[in-house]
Structure formats: structure tokens, C-alpha cells
Amino acid sequence: MRRPPILAWLFVGALLTFLFAPVVCVVLFSFNDSAAAGPPIKGLTLSWYREIFTNVEYTDALRNSLQVALISASCSVVAGTAAALALVRLPRRITAVLAGFFVVPMVVPALFIGVALLSFFTRIGFELSLQAVIVGHIIVTLPLVIALIGARLQNLDLSMLEAARDLGASGPQAFARVLLPLIAPAIVSAALLSIATSADEFIISLFVNGGDQTVPVVIFGGLRTGVTPAINALASTILAATVLATLIAGRLVSLRDVAR
Amino acid sequence: MSVTEARPGATAARGGRRGQGPGGRRRLGAGGRRALALGLQVGPATAFVAFFLLAPLVVFFLYSLWRVRDYEIVAEWNLDAYKQALTDDSYRRLLWNTIKIAGGASLLSAGLAFAFAHTLRFKLRRWQEPLLFAVVIAMFSGYLVRVYAWRTLLGDSGIVNSALRGLGITSEPLSFLLFNRGAAIVVLANFLIPLAVLPVYAALQNVRDAEIEAARDLGCGSWGTFWRVTAPLAWPGIFFSWALAFLAAAGDYVVPQLVGGANGTMVGVVITDTFQTDYNFPRGAALAFTTLLVSLTIIGIVRFVGGKVLR
């Protein structure tokens, strides 16, 4: 028997601790019964959560974030699934060009997308608002949807569709009864990860919100006066939503398919 | 809402460009109908990204060549903003500082991401999926949170300093933990590592056991196998991870703003100020494109050199 890889576990443990330390810290201090968002822990309370669900500034932000996440994820999933379906069947040359095209939103830093959108919207007279934020979030979630669903489609034998057609199914029937059930898990996980991405997106929202603040924008605004337990509770609420979405998404698709 | 309105319009335009009016559709052969269907499927997403990302980037670029007069942007073509970005001492220092921080953070991230993916692939095979999943969760858990929490962790009255004081190791808080270049690098790495892990992990999946064994059989030691087999095969993934991390770091605003302090400031902060407080869009745009150009140049050089060295 090989000896257990202790060093490997030590390294992996240290790295994961580093990655999760800030998250744990924020969640922990959101329950702290003290006006200061730091040590010592004086006792546990839910009062900060009561505050964020009653204070209008926070509830507005939560409602805005929810609305933006649901609308942008829906748009991205519909347009992205359609695009992914076309990309696997288009001639290879066109697919390569389009795949490169859809990577652009992933590699351009979000700050540049934010200021570019701000310049563009003010130029064409598009009012800065939640709609503008939704546009920005569709831009960043579309590539994610296309990548996730594209990965799933690449592992499918698309000749099944032709078989369905040969057996008398119409195009829409073949899609709804054969293809859709096969890619449904990927679609759901793409939707969930889009929601998580949108709920967490900060920079683009900061530039184009025009006063309709989402949760991360409110958190950032609150940080000017220092970290407060209410801010931690607000952040933890979003964290709970994004982590839950990611957990479910991860159950639905194989990570190996995606990391390829 | 104009978002949804834009879509069908764009789709119709795309179909129309192919010269297929509503009446002409019946006359199409099977090939034409298929092409139309594919076009309709990929059209909305393409049109959306073209209209709301490429067009904004073009406008943004044009702004960098224009001028502000009486708080209005006027189309007077000039390169003053670029000249200022490249010659003004404070901007040059800023750019250099940005490169140093982004360089440090991206190397740290790509390095740790590679070590992590390598450990998963070769040492902890049975645990690959859950461990990778943990990193994916980290990737989706709070960008802003991962930055500002470090104030609670490392601040003067934060967890680390309280613990050190409680244990009697220090009497004064260690204030060098935050608000400097090193802190900016560490905090950037904290949210860049998860992004960097996936491409490297994917690349390491391309290294097959048979290839490693063949190298061993042919007399390569561990180091030889690593440098001659694993590293060259994984290089595209490593490079992509590093480049992604470098670009994301070079364009970051939150980290320098919240934990960077005086010597940890970066271009992103100044770009944001020019847009939010100075309303000098041309200057901000020129700074952004200068940063992008410098970053892409560095990335190009690394790609060239890395490709030559790891063959």
C-alpha cells in the first residue's frame, strides 16, 4: 500500500482554508450580537437579519437583485441555449469564429464592460436603470450558458435527432421529446449559475444602476462607513443563495464535462 | 422593455439579410431552411453581444480619441489623453504599479491553481470531483465578500490581530497586514485562484498516464517527466489561467480601493474616478485602453516565450 499523501492533503486543506476564510468570517460575524463587525463574538443573534428584511434600503436592494437575476438569467438561458444548439451544427469555421466571439465578455475585465456600457448608454440616451443592469448581466452570463450547454451537447450523439425524424417526429417534436430531456439538467444548472453570477455581479451594476441599487452596490456603499453586522447579514443572504444555486447546479452536471 | 424588443428585431434583420422575405421562405430548399433555422438560433445571442458589448467598446474607444469641453464630450480627434497616460509621471507610476500587482497576483494564482490541480490529478485522484467542486463553490461565493472580509480578518481590530494580542504575542496591532501592495496581491489571488483552477485542471486531464509512464520507462526522473511531458502538455491551460487572472487583476477596482492603501493603488481606481467624479470620459477611456494594450502585450510576450521554452 502507498502511504497516504499527507503533504498533498495539507496543501489542499491550506488552500481551501485560504479560499473560504473570508466567506466563513462574513457569515460568522453576521450573527454576532454586537454593533461592531469584528471580534469578539459577544453572543448570537438574528437581529441583523431582521434589520435587512425590514429596512427599506435593504429590502429594495434585495428585490432589485432578485428581479435582475431572474430576468437576466431567463434571457441568457433562452438565447444561450439556442446559440449553443446552433454552434454544434454550424460549419466548423463559423463555430470557431463565434466561439471566440462569445469568449470576449469573459476576458474583457468587468470594469471595462461597465464603463463601456456607461459610455454607450449615455451616448444613445438609454436611461441608466435596472434595465441597464439587466443588459450588463446578460452580457456576462450568456457565455457561461453557451459554454455549459455546449459542453453537454458535445457529449451527446446528435444523430439521435435524425433517428427521431426518420421515425416520423416533426422537428419541434424531436427537439421537445428527445433533445430537451437530455439537455434539461444542463439548462437548469446554467440558469442557476447565471442567477448566482448575476446576484454577485458588482462592477457593471455600480456603473449603470442609475440609482436602482442591487445588493452588492448597497454593500459597497455601506463599506464607506466601515463594515457593519447588517452589511455582513446582507452579504450572507446573497452568499446563501449563490452557494445553494451552485450546489444544485453541481449535482446536475458532471464537472468533468465542463472542465474540458 | 427595450431588451426584449431588441431581440426579435435583430433576428428578423438577420433573416432578412439572407434575402428571405416571408413569402420567399416556401421556395427555399432543405439546405436553405436549415441555414435559416441555424441563423435564427444563433442570431439573438450574437446580435445582443454585438450591440451591447462590441458597440459599447467601440464608443468607449472613440471617446478616448475625443475631448471634453464644458462637461460635454465633443468629437475633436486628438491623442492628448493617450499622451498624458503614457508620459505623465503619476500615470506611468500608476500603470507600473498596476502591472506589478497584477503580475504578482496572477503568478501567485496560476501557480497555486496549478499546484492544486496537479495534486488533484496525480496525488488525490479519488477526491478530484469533490475537491474541484469545492473550488467551483468558492468561485461563485461572493466577489465583494472575498475582498471586504479581509478587513475583518486582517484589520487592526480584526481576527488575526486580536488572536495575536490575546495570545500575548504582540501588544500593538500589526498594521502592515492591510492597505499595501502585498495585501492587494494576496486578496486578488483569493478570488482569482478559483477562476484559474478550472483551465489548468482541464489541461492536466490531457496528460495521460500512458505518456507519463512512457517518459519514466525511457529513463526520465520525476523532474524530467514534469518539464518534458507534463508542463508542455499543460502549458496552454496554465497560460490561459494566468492570462485570465492577469487581465482580471489589471482591471480590478474593488481590491485597490478597499485593501490596497497608498502603494497598492491601481489603474481601475483612477478610471472609476474619472468616470464617476471628474466626468472626464476621454481620459478614463484612454487609461483603460492603454492598460488593456500594455496587458495584452505582456500576455503576448509570455505566450511567445512560454511556447518556446516548454516544447
Residue A28 belongs to a domain: no
d(CA B194, CA B208): 24
Size of interface A-B (CB pairs under 8 A): 245
User: Do the Cβ atoms of A142 and B144 come within 8 Å?
Assistant: no
Contact status, residue A147 vs residue A157, Cβ threshold 8 Å: no
Chain A nearest C-alpha distance from B19 (Å): 19
Chain A nearest C-alpha distance from B68 (Å): 13
Contact status, residue A82 vs residue A150, Cβ threshold 8 Å: no
Residue A21 belongs to a domain: no
To the nearest 10 degrees (0 to 180), the angle between helices B181-205 and A6-30 is 130
Query: Which chain A residue shows the shortest CA-CA distance from B49?
Result: A139
Domain that holds residue A80: 55-258
Point out the residue among B38, B46, B162 whose CB comes nearest to the CB of A39.
Answer: B162
Residue A43 belongs to a domain: no
User: Do the Cβ atoms of A245 and B271 come within 8 Å?
Assistant: no
Q: Which chain A residues touch B40 with a CB distance below 8 Å?
A: 82
Residue at A134: amino acid letter: I
Specify the pLDDT at position B23.
44
Work out whether strand B72-74 and strand B67-69 pair parallel, antiparallel, or are unpaired: antiparallel
Specify the pLDDT at position B17.
40
> Which residue, among B250, B298, B289, B261, has the nearest Cα to B84 in the 3D structure?
B289
User: Do the Cβ atoms of A22 and B140 come within 8 Å?
Assistant: no
Specify the pLDDT at position A43.
84
CATH of the domain at A238: 1.10.3720.10
Chain B nearest C-alpha distance from A54 (Å): 22
pLDDT digits (tens, 9 = 90+) for A95-142: 889 988 998 998 899 999 999 999 999 999 999 999 999 999 999 999
Peptide bond into A40 cis (omega under 30): yes
Residue A184 belongs to a domain: yes
- Tell me if residue A32 falls in helix, strand or coil: strand
> Which residue, among B257, B59, B45, B49, has the nearest Cα to A118 in the 3D structure?
B59
Specify the pLDDT at position B5.
37
> Which residue, among A92, A50, A78, has the nearest Cα to A191 in the 3D structure?
A78
Q: Which three cell numbers stand for residue A160?
A: 439521435
- Tell me if residue B70 falls in helix, strand or coil: coil
Contact status, residue B188 vs residue B249, Cβ threshold 8 Å: yes
Alpha-carbon radius of gyration of chain A = 22
> Which residue, among A233, A59, A223, A206, has the nearest Cα to A118 in the 3D structure?
A206
User: Do the Cβ atoms of B258 and A219 come within 8 Å?
Assistant: no
Residue A30 belongs to a domain: no
CATH 1.10.3720.10 domain range(s) in chain B: 82-309
Averaged pLDDT in 10-residue chunks for chain B of 311 residues = 37 40 54 83 92 94 89 86 88 93 96 94 89 92 90 87 88 87 94 94 86 85 84 90 95 92 90 88 92 95 88 71
How many Å is the maximal CA-CA distance in chain A?
Answer: 70
Residue A136 belongs to a domain: yes
Chain B nearest C-alpha distance from A20 (Å): 7
d(CA B117, CA B131): 10
Q: Which chain A residues touch B157 with a CB distance below 8 Å?
A: 36, 38-39
How far is CA A99 from each of CA A87, A251, B240, rounded to the nearest angstrom?
Answer: 8, 26, 16
Contact status, residue B179 vs residue B261, Cβ threshold 8 Å: yes
Mutate to test the interface with A, among B40, B52, B108 (most CBs of A within 10 A): B52
To the nearest 10 degrees (0 to 180), the angle between helices B267-276 and B281-309 is 160
How far is CA A91 from each of CA A88, A94, A97, rounded to the nearest angstrom?
Answer: 8, 6, 10
User: Do the Cβ atoms of B157 and A216 come within 8 Å?
Assistant: no
Reply yes or no on domain B82-309 having CATH 1.10.3720.10.
yes
Residue A23 belongs to a domain: no
Burial A88-118 (b: 16+ CB within 10 A, else e): eebeeeebeebeebbeebeebbbbbbbbbbb
d(CA B143, CA B271): 20
Mutate to test the interface with A, among B198, B253, B294 (most CBs of A within 10 A): B253
Residue A239 belongs to a domain: yes
Residue by residue, pLDDT tens for chain A (260 residues) are 466 788 899 999 999 999 999 999 999 999 988 887 778 888 888 989 999 999 999 999 999 999 999 999 999 999 999 999 888 888 888 888 998 899 899 889 999 999 999 999 999 999 999 999 999 999 999 999 999 999 888 888 888 888 888 898 887 888 888 888 889 999 999 999 999 999 999 999 999 999 999 999 999 998 888 788 889 999 999 999 999 999 999 888 876 665 54
> Which residue, among A70, A8, A63, has the nearest Cα to A237 in the 3D structure?
A63
Chain A nearest C-alpha distance from B308 (Å): 24
CA dihedral (A21, A27, A29, A31) positive or negative? negative
d(CA A18, CA A108): 26
Write down the ipTM of this complex.
Answer: 0.90
Q: Which chain B residues touch A82 with a CB distance below 8 Å?
A: 40-42, 44-45
Chain B nearest C-alpha distance from A64 (Å): 16
User: Do the Cβ atoms of A227 and B152 come within 8 Å?
Assistant: yes
Q: Cell 455546449 belongs to which residue?
A: A150
Residues paired with A75 in a beta bridge: none
> Which residue, among B289, B114, B269, B288, has the nearest Cα to B184 in the 3D structure?
B269
Specify the pLDDT at position A120.
94
Contact status, residue A61 vs residue A218, Cβ threshold 8 Å: yes
Q: Which three cell numbers stand for residue B5?
A: 424588443
User: Do the Cβ atoms of A19 and B138 come within 8 Å?
Assistant: yes
What would the DSSP string read from start to end of A192-206? HHHHHHHHH--HHHH
Q: Cell 469568449 belongs to which residue?
A: A103
Domain count, chain A: 1
Contact status, residue B36 vs residue B15, Cβ threshold 8 Å: yes
d(CA A103, CA B249): 18
User: Do the Cβ atoms of A105 and B141 come within 8 Å?
Assistant: no
